């Protein structure tokens, strides 16, 4: 991200990196920013003005299309994905998102109440859960390293995480439309809808999206989840053979 607007407080996407289940990078590009950049945040982003005007920088709309095509039908894994998706102005089904910033076992208790959980930094999680070090002081963040780290965090607790998501999906199905569905053993389930959420992207405020998060996918290189077909998420897009992209 780079800073735009007064004092660079708003964010615009300036680089997009995606890797697959095998941690192979399948997309890594700078993104042209169509408004004035007021803070390149080089000490963190590693991005300089020359990067956004080079031949390696793509128009935002082209990048958005590529990302949406890659993520279609995939499980998205990452850290603090709400920020990325808001900047890209892209949505993704909430039940196909695995955000390590919002996974309860990875979160910390709030300062005022232990009931309220707060996200932890990716660097802290990698050190504690994986015994590794990323984002070294004085070195710009490496988006490839960050993506792979979020993926490894997910892999380390994959089965527990999937069980939690299945419970959330079952709860959502019970709350949304079950009363209006036909009863009976042979009644098909028509699917469930994530709740509408108001969010906004760069240069666009109060845009109505179905979900504030998004950003990874499923690839045929991902191993099976060891779940029977009838233990899936309850909709046609989910199968025991998952696909991922980070």
Confidence of residue 177 (pLDDT cuts 50, 70, 90): low
- Alpha carbons within 13 angstroms on the beta-carbon side of residue 93 total 18
**Residue range 116-143: mean pLDDT, rounded:** 93
Longest dimension (CA), the chain: 63
> Tens digit of pLDDT for each residue in 79-126?
999 989 999 999 999 999 999 999 999 999 887 777 789 999 999 999
| Cβ contact 64:48 at 8 Å | no
**114 Cα distance to chain centroid:** 26
- Report pLDDT for 241: 36
- pTM of structure: 0.72
Percent of the chain at pLDDT exceeding 90: 63
- The CA distance from 133 to 127, in Å, is 6
Q: What is the DSSP string of 11-41?
A: EE--EEEEEBTT--EEEEEEE--SS-EEE--
Question: What are the pLDDT digits (tens) for 11-40?
Answer: 999 999 999 999 999 999 999 999 999 999
Q: Across all residues in the chain, what is the average pLDDT?
A: 78
Structure letter (DSSP) for residue 7: G
């Amino acid at each position: 991200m780079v800073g735009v607007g007064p004092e660079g407080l708003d964010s615009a996407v300036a680089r997009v990196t995606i890797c697959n289940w095998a941690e192979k990078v399948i997309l890594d590009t700078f993104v042209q920013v169509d408004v004035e950049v007021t803070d390149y945040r080089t000490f963190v982003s590693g991005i300089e003005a020359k990067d956004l005007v080079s031949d390696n920088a793509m128009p935002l709309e082209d990048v958005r299309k590529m990302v949406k095509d890659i993520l279609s039908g995939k499980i998205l894994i990452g850290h603090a994905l709400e920020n990325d998706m808001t900047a890209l102005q892209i949505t993704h089904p909430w039940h196909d998102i695995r955000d390590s910033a919002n996974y309860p076992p990875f979160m910390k208790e709030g300062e005022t109440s232990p009931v309220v959980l707060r996200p932890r930094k990716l660097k802290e999680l990698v050190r504690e859960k994986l015994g590794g070090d990323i984002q070294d002081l004085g070195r710009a963040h490496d988006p490839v390293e960050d993506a792979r780290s979020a993926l490894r965090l997910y892999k380390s607790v994959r089965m527990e995480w999937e069980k939690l998501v299945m419970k959330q999906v079952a709860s959502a199905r019970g709350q949304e439309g079950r009363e209006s569905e036909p009863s009976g053993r042979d009644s098909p389930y028509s699917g469930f809808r994530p709740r509408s959420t108001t969010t906004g992207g760069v240069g666009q405020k109060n845009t109505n999206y179905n979900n504030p998060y998004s950003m990874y996918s499923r690839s045929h290189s991902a191993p099976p989840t060891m779940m029977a077909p009838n233990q899936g998420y309850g909709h046609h897009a989910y199968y025991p053979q998952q696909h991922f992209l980070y």
